[in-house]
C-alpha cells in the first residue's frame, strides 16, 4: 500500500500553511509551533542485516503449509530495482507490461535453484530458498536482510507444491503490498492490481485444479513506497484452507 503520507507531511504542511496565507483560518491557524525533538530512542532489537531474523533457509525436506494453509516456503529473487513514486500506478496494463519486460524467464514452469544467479535486464540477481517464520512473506525484511533496496522493487517468486492427489475447484488466494501477479503450472491465475494492502485472501483466482504431484507456482510482487509484503494460500471449494500439501523448492 502506498502511504506516502509521512514522507509528504512536510510538503502537505507547507501547502496547507501556504493556503493559510490566502484562505484565512484553518486547522493550522496556530501554526505547527515548535516541534519537540525526538527523545533518545534506544534500539530495541537486532538491526544487523541477517536473513535468520525472519526466515530460515529452506531445507531439502518437504514442508507443510502453516496451520491456516499459508505457503511459507519460497524461492525469492533479489529485488529488481524500479523507480516508483506512488503505488496507484499499478494498473492491470502496467503490471502485465512490467512483469513481461522485467522477467527472468518466459517459461513460467521454470524452477530456479537456490543460489543460482539470473539476469533481469542488466541486473544479475540471486535466488534464495527461504521459509518465512510468519504466515506472510515480508519482502521488506528480505531486502533489508540482503542490504538491497527496500522501496521501489519488483520481486520474483517460485515455489513447488506437491499434491498427494488431484484437487479440483481450488482457488489461489493472495494479498500483497502493493501489486502482484500469479501463475499456476504456467497459466496465469490472478492479477492484484492497484494500491493494495497485504490482506489475507484479498483476491482469489477462478477455480483451478491442483494436479497430483508437482505444481509450480510463480509470483511477482511489485511495490513503491511502503513495506513490500505478500501472503498466499489455496482455498478449497468450501472456502477452507487446503492444507494437505507439501512444499519444496526443487
Question: Which residues are at the interface with another protein (CB under 8 A)?
Answer: 1-9, 12-13, 16-17, 19, 23-36, 38-39, 41-45, 47, 86-88, 135-136, 175, 177, 195, 197-202, 226-227, 229, 231
User: CA–CA separation, 83 vs 232, rounded Å?
Assistant: 26
Cα Rg for the chain, rounded, in angstroms?
A: 21
| Residue 238 C-beta: closest distance to another protein, Å | 13
Cell of 21: 496565507
Q: How many C-beta atoms lie closer than 10 Å to residue 114's C-beta?
A: 16
**Residue number with CB closer to another protein (17 or 111):** 17
Closest CA to 73 of 151, 147, 133: 133
**Residue number with CB closer to another protein (72 or 136):** 136
**Residue number with CB closer to another protein (116 or 149):** 149
| Residue 150 C-beta: closest distance to another protein, Å | 11
| Residue 191 C-beta: closest distance to another protein, Å | 18
- 7: three-class secondary structure by DSSP: helix
CA dihedral 119, 120, 126, 127 (to 10 degrees): -110
| Residue 17 C-beta: closest distance to another protein, Å | 8
**Residue number with CB closer to another protein (43 or 60):** 43
- 129: three-class secondary structure by DSSP: strand
- 139: three-class secondary structure by DSSP: helix
Cell of 8: 509528504
| Residue 33 C-beta: closest distance to another protein, Å | 5
| Residue 28 C-beta: closest distance to another protein, Å | 5
Q: How many C-beta atoms lie closer than 10 Å to residue 103's C-beta?
A: 18
The DSSP annotation for 194-229 comes to SS----TTSEE-S-EEEPSEEEEEEEEEEESSS--E
**Residue number with CB closer to another protein (38 or 60):** 38
User: CA–CA separation, 103 vs 245, rounded Å?
Assistant: 28
**Residue number with CB closer to another protein (15 or 101):** 15
User: CA–CA separation, 249 vs 139, rounded Å?
Assistant: 18
| Residue 246 C-beta: closest distance to another protein, Å | 23
**Residue number with CB closer to another protein (4 or 209):** 4
Amino acid at each position: 500500500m502506498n502511504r506516502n503520507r509521512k514522507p509528504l507531511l512536510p510538503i502537505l504542511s507547507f501547502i496547507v500553511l501556504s493556503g493559510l496565507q490566502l484562505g484565512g483560518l484553518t486547522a493550522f491557524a496556530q501554526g505547527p509551533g515548535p516541534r519537540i525533538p525526538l527523545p533518545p530512542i534506544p534500539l530495541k532489537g537486532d538491526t544487523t542485516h541477517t536473513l535468520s531474523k525472519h526466515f530460515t533457509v529452506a531445507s531439502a525436506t518437504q514442508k507443510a503449509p502453516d496451520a491456516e494453509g499459508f505457503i511459507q516456503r519460497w524461492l525469492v529473487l533479489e529485488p529488481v530495482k524500479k523507480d516508483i513514486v506512488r503505488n496507484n500506478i499499478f494498473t492491470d496494463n502496467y503490471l502485465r507490461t512490467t512483469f513481461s519486460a522485467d522477467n527472468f524467464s518466459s517459461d513460467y514452469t521454470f524452477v530456479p535453484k537456490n543460489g543460482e544467479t539470473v539476469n533481469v535486464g542488466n541486473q544479475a540477481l540471486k535466488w534464495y530458498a527461504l521459509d518465512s517464520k510468519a504466515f506472510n512473506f515480508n519482502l521488506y525484511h528480505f531486502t533489508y536482510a540482503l542490504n538491497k533496496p527496500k522501496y521501489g522493487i519488483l520481486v520474483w517468486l517460485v515455489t513447488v507444491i506437491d499434491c498427494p492427489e488431484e484437487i479440483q475447484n481450488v482457488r489461489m488466494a493472495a494479498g500483497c503490498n502493493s501489486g502482484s501477479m500469479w501463475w499456476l503450472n504456467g497459466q496465469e491465475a490472478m492479477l492484484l492490481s492497484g494500491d493494495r494492502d497485504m490482506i489475507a485472501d484479498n483476491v482469489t483466482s477462478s477455480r483451478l485444479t491442483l494436479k497430483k504431484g508437482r505444481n509450480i507456482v510463480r509470483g511477482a510482487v511489485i511495490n513503491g513506497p511502503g513495506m513490500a509484503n505478500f501472503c498466499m494460500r489455496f482455498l478449497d471449494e468450501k472456502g477452507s484452507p487446503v492444507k494437505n500439501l507439501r512444499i519444496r523448492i526443487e
